[in-house]
Structure 1
Amino acid sequence: MAKTRALSNLAIEQLKPRAVRYEKSDGGAAGLFLVVHPSGIKSWVFRFRSPVERDEVGQRAPKKLTLGPLALTPSPAQPQIGHPLTPSQARMLATAAAEDVRRGIDPTHVRRQEKAEAKREAVRDNTIDAAMIEFLKRYKGRKRQGLRESTRLLTAHYFGLKADPEKPGEWGTTGNGVLGKWSGRPLASITKHDAIVLLDALVDSGRGVTANRTLTTLKTFFDWCVDRDMREASPVASLDAVARETERERKLTAAELVAAWKVADREGYPFGCLVQGLILLGQRRDELRELPRTELDLHGTSIVLDDGSRWNEPLWTIPKERTKNGREHLVPLSPQAVALLKSLPTIKGKGLLFTTTGETPISGLSKAKKRFDEAMLAELRKSDANAQFEPWTLHDLRRTFYSGLQALGFSIEIAEACVNHSSGAIRGVARVYARHKYLREKTQAFTAWARYVDDLVNSRPASNVFPFQREQA
C-alpha cells in the first residue's frame, strides 16, 4: 500500500467544503488529519487508540485530539494546541502526541488537565475587586431585565465601590464595605469563614441591618460567579441572616414634619429640596433623586384616560424601568409640588433635577442627613428646650405620607395607588386598570396632603381634613 504523502499548501487550498465535514489524511505524521468543515474552515486533529481506555469489546478505544485551526502563514511563536497551526507545526504536535501514546499516556487526558490548570490559574489571578466590577457591568437581575441605576449604586455601596464621575462605567474603591476587608484577594480565596468574620464585625458595630443586606448582596454576587464558571461554589450559600430585623413603623409627628420642612427650606438645593419633594410626593427616595425632567409634565398636557376622557393636570410619569415593582406609575402633582419642581435650577448635562454635576444624581446623602438632623433638633428646641426625636430615615417620609393619606380619610386602595405598592388592596387584574382608574382620586389625595402640610407649616388650621398624627406630649 502506497504511503500517504504529506499535504502541500496547494493540495490544502484545493480541498473544497462539502455538505458534510470530511477528513483528509496527512502523511507527514502518523494519525494526523485535516478536517474540512461545511463552512470552509479547516482544522487539524490527531487520531489514535488510547493506551489507557478500552471500548465495549475490550480493545484500545479510538480517540481524537483536536490540535487547532489551519494556518498557512507561519507564526514565530512555539506551536501550541488550540492555536492556529501550519502543516509543519501540526505535524510537530502530532508527533509529540504519538510519542505520549507510545509511552502509555493518553494525550486527551493531558490536554484536559492542562485546560483545568489554566482555568484554576485564571481564577486564582482574578481578584474579587475585578469580579465585583464585572458584576456591576453585566448583572441583569433575576428577571434579566437589567438593574435600576439606584440598585446598582446601592450594590456598589455594599461592595465598597463608587462610580467615577470623570469616567463613566469606571469604578473606584471607597475603603469601606466588602472590599474594605477583601480588596486585592483572589476571588477563589474567599471562604465561608471570611464571610462570617465580615458579617460578625458589622453586627458587633451595631449595623445588623447592613450585615443582612451585605449578605444578601454577596449571595447574589457569588451565585452569579458560579453561573459564569468563575467559582465552583458560593461560600455564603448556607449562611442565614445574621441579625434580627423588625419592620420599621417610624412616622414623623406633626411637629417633626414642620421642623423638617423649615430646615429643608433653609438648606435649599439640592438636599433640602429633595426632602421637601419626598414630603409632598411620598415616592421612593431614588425615584425622586434620579428624576429627569423628561418624566415631568408641569403644564398639564392633555392625555386620554382609559375611559376615553381627557386629563389636563400636571403629572409625573415614572417609567416601569425606574420603579421597584416594574410598573409605570403616574404621580399627580399638587400646586405645591409644581411650585417646588419649577424652582429647581437647570444644570446642563443629562437633564437631572437633583444633581451638582449634571451627569449623576446627588450623592453624600448620609452626611447631609446628619447635618440636617442637627438643624432639625435645634428647630424643635425653639419651642421645647428638652425636645428629642427618634432617628428617622428619608424612607420614613414615605411611610408618613402613606399613613397620613389614610388619616385624611382616603381608602387603603387610594393610598396604595399613590405610592405604587405592589401588594395589598389592589390585586390581580385590577392592577392593570388602576393606572388611570384612580388618577382622579390620587389627585385629590396628593392635593389634600400638600394642603395639609402647607397648613401645618404656616400654622393654619387644617380645614375639612383629619390631622394624621398629633405631636406627642
Structure 2
Amino acid sequence: MTTAKEELTTKRLEALMPAPVGQRYEIADTHVGGLRVRVGDAKIESTDRRRNGKAGHVSFVLLARFTPKANPTRRTLGTFPELSLGDARQKAIDWKTLIRRGIDPAEEAKQRRAEAEHRRLSRRTIGEVLDQYEADKLANLRRGKATRRALDGSCGLLADLRDREPNSISRSEIRAALRKRALTSPISANRQLAYAKAFFNWCVAEEIVSANPAQSIAKPSIERARDRHHSLDELQEIWRAAVELGYPFGHLVRLLMVLPMRREELAAMPIAEVDLGPEGATEGIWTLPAERTKRANALRVPLGPLARSIVSEAIRNEARPNKSPFVFSTTETTSVSGFAKAKRRLDRTIAANQAKAAEASGVDPVPMPHWTFHDLRTSFTTLACEELGVDAAVADRILNHVATATTSKIMRVYNKSELFEQRRLALCAWEDFVRNRVIGEESGKVVPIRAARV
C-alpha cells in the first residue's frame, strides 16, 4: 500500500471521493504526526461492494506505537465526512495522549459501546425479551408456542409483569403470581414455574439478568400420578353423551375411547395421514409422523373397523369444511380446538341424561366423579389387560409409551419393534369389547386375546 505526505484540506478530501474500485493508498497529514487518511478498502472483492458503499471510503487512521520498541499499530478514528478533518486531528491528538499512558482508546471505545449495548438490552421489557427467547429457543421446540402462552399469555405466569424490565423482577413477585395461579390450576402452576425457570436461566446465559429470580422457588402443588379409570357404566354414559354432541367433538371423543392415543395427536389428525384402504375395506392405517408425537417417534397406528368408520364418518360430515385438510376441524386452515369448552358440554349432557334416568327410576342421580380425556387411556389399559388379556408391553405400544412394562432396560433400548400385528389384534378385540359392553351392539361374543391364542 502506497503512502504519500501532503497538507490535507477538506476540499482535498472531498476530491478523493469516491476512490476507484481496486485502489488503496494512504496520505499522511503534515499537521498531526501519525494521522493518515486511508483511501479505498482493503477487502474489495467485486464491483458489487461499490454499490453497497464499501468501496471508495475515505477514513482517518492513527499510526502509533504502544511501546517504544513495538511495531506501529493502526487505529481507525472514523470515516470522512462523518468525522471532519478538524475533529479527526483533535481526536488523533487525544488518542496519542492516551496511548503514551498505556491506554488503548479503541479498546476503551469498544468497551463503552458494549456497556451501552448491555444497558440498552437490560432496559428491555419482559415481553421484548420473550420475543427474542421465542425466536432463539422456543421456535425450535415442538411445544414452543404453548410454552410462550404459559409464560405471558392471558393466563401466563408473567402476564402481569411483561411490561417490566427483567432485572426488576423479584422472587416474591413470581411467588405471588404462582400462588394466584395455583388456586385455580395447581398442576398448570407447576408447569408455568418450570417454564419460567428455564426462561430466566436463558436470560442469565445471555447476560440479561445476573441471577434467576425463580430458581429456588418450590412447586406450589404436589403431583400424583392419575389412577382414575372408568367403569363400564361410565363409559356407556360418555359414549351416549358424545353421540349427542355431534361433529367434531362427538366423533373425536368416541375415537378417543376406541383408539386410546393422545388427545392432541388425534385432534390434529390430517386426512393425508390416514389410509382407509380401498372401497369395501374394513380396516385402515394412520401413519403418525415423529414431529407430532410426544416421544418424537413415527408410528403406524392400526385402525380397526369401528375406528375406521368413525374417521370416515367425520371426514364426510357436512359440518366439516370441505377444504380443511384435517379430519376434525371447524375452519379451513386449523384443526379443532376448545377442548375445555367441549368437555363442559359433554359433562352437562352426561348430567342431564343421568337426571332423566334417575327421574324415570324414582331415585336420586349419582354425579360422575371428575375425569379428563386422558383418563380414557387409563381405562383402556386397565380393561384391555384385565378383561381381554392384552399383554402389558403391547398396551404400552398402543399408548405410544416408553415400554415401561418391559422390565429389562436393555430391551427398552434395543427393541424397536412396532408390534404392529399384535397392536392390531388387541385394538380389534378392544373394539369388539366396546361394541358389546359399552355401545350395546351385538357384534358377537368378545373373545379375550389370551383365550384366542389358546
TM-score of the aligned structures, taking structure 2 as reference length: 0.77
Do structure 1's residue 97 and structure 2's residue 91 form an aligned pair?
A: yes
2:273 touches 2:286 (CA, 8 Å); kept in 1? yes
| AA partner of residue 37 (structure 1) | A
Q: What is the CA–CA distance in structure 2 between the aligned matches of 1:451 and 1:67, rounded to whole Å?
A: 84
Alpha-carbon shift at residue 191 of structure 1 (Å)? 3.0
2:64 touches 2:96 (CA, 8 Å); kept in 1? no
Looking at CA atoms only, which structure, 1 or 2, has the larger radius of gyration? 2
Q: Tell me, which stretches of 5 or more residues in structure 2 are unaligned?
A: 46-53, 450-454
1:32 touches 1:91 (CA, 8 Å); kept in 2? no
Q: Deviations over 1:96-135 (max 9, x none)?
A: 53354367586332442243123312431x3222333444
Counterpart in 1 of 2:151? 159
Please give the residue correspondences for 1:12-27 in structure 2 after superposition, counting only pairs within 5 Å: 13=19, 16=22, 24=26, 26-27=28-29
* Aligned with residue 255 of structure 1, among 233, 245, 270: 233
* Aligned with residue 463 of structure 1, among 433, 442, 445: 445
Do structure 1's residue 280 and structure 2's residue 258 form an aligned pair?
A: yes
2:329 touches 2:335 (CA, 8 Å); kept in 1? yes
Q: What is the CA–CA distance in structure 2 between the aligned matches of 1:195 and 1:48, rounded to whole Å?
A: 54
Do structure 1's residue 113 and structure 2's residue 115 form an aligned pair?
A: no
Counterpart in 2 of 1:147? 141
Q: 1:31 to 1:253 in 2, by over 3 A?
A: farther
Counterpart in 2 of 1:189? 168
Counterpart in 2 of 1:397? 376
Identity percentage of aligned residues: 26
Please give the residue correspondences for 1:51-90 in structure 2 after superposition, counting only pairs within 5 Å: 65-67=75-77, 85-86=79-80, 89=83
Q: Deviations over 1:63-101 (max 9, x none)?
A: 765556xxxxxxxxxxxxxxxx33562746643533543
Q: What is the CA–CA distance in structure 1 between the aligned matches of 2:414 and 2:86, rounded to whole Å?
A: 70
Do structure 1's residue 325 and structure 2's residue 295 form an aligned pair?
A: yes
Question: Secondary structure of 1:454's partner?
Answer: helix
| AA partner of residue 365 (structure 1) | F
Q: Once structures 1 and 2 are overlaid, which stretch shifts more, 449-458 or 230-239?
A: 230-239
Question: Secondary structure of 1:89's partner?
Answer: coil
Q: 1:312 to 1:47 in 2, by over 3 A?
A: farther
Counterpart in 2 of 1:74? none
Q: What is the CA–CA distance in structure 2 between the aligned matches of 1:116 and 1:459, rounded to whole Å?
A: 74
Q: What is the CA–CA distance in structure 1 between the aligned matches of 2:64 and 2:173, rounded to whole Å?
A: 48
Alpha-carbon shift at residue 324 of structure 1 (Å)? 1.0
Do structure 1's residue 366 and structure 2's residue 371 form an aligned pair?
A: no
Counterpart in 1 of 2:415? 430
Q: Tell me, which stretches of 5 or more residues in structure 1 are unaligned?
A: 69-84, 162-173, 302-310, 468-473
Q: 1:112 to 1:89 in 2, by over 3 A?
A: same
Q: Deviations over 1:209-261 (max 9, x none)?
A: 11110011112333344455544543323434332211111112211111111
2:22 touches 2:44 (CA, 8 Å); kept in 1? no
Q: What is the CA–CA distance in structure 2 between the aligned matches of 1:192 and 1:60, rounded to whole Å?
A: 53
Question: Secondary structure of 1:428's partner?
Answer: helix
2:262 touches 2:374 (CA, 8 Å); kept in 1? yes
Q: Once structures 1 and 2 are overlaid, which stretch shifts more, 365-374 or 380-389?
A: 380-389
* Aligned with residue 207 of structure 1, among 185, 192, 197: 185
Q: What is the CA–CA distance in structure 1 between the aligned matches of 2:167 and 2:301, rounded to whole Å?
A: 47
Q: Deviations over 1:261-308 (max 9, x none)?
A: 11111011122222112111111111111111111001169xxxxxxx
Counterpart in 2 of 1:306? none
Q: What is the CA–CA distance in structure 2 between the aligned matches of 1:93 and 1:283, rounded to whole Å?
A: 72
Q: How many pairs were matched up? A: 408
| AA partner of residue 195 (structure 1) | I
* Aligned with residue 401 of structure 2, among 421, 424, 427: 421
Counterpart in 2 of 1:304? none
1:100 touches 1:106 (CA, 8 Å); kept in 2? no
Which structure has more helix as a fraction of its residues? 2
Counterpart in 2 of 1:351? 325
Counterpart in 2 of 1:170? none
Counterpart in 2 of 1:385? 364
Q: 1:401 to 1:343 in 2, by over 3 A?
A: same
Q: What is the CA–CA distance in structure 1 between the aligned matches of 2:278 and 2:380, rounded to whole Å?
A: 24
Q: What is the CA–CA distance in structure 2 between the aligned matches of 1:63 and 1:275, rounded to whole Å?
A: 75
Calculate the aligned-residue CA RMSD, in Å.
3.6
* Aligned with residue 130 of structure 1, among 128, 131, 150: 128
Q: What is the CA–CA distance in structure 2 between the aligned matches of 1:118 and 1:106, rounded to whole Å?
A: 20
TM-score of the aligned structures, taking structure 1 as reference length: 0.74
| AA partner of residue 368 (structure 1) | A
Do structure 1's residue 340 and structure 2's residue 310 form an aligned pair?
A: yes
Counterpart in 2 of 1:166? none
Question: Secondary structure of 1:332's partner?
Answer: strand
1:67 touches 1:90 (CA, 8 Å); kept in 2? no
Question: Secondary structure of 1:390's partner?
Answer: coil
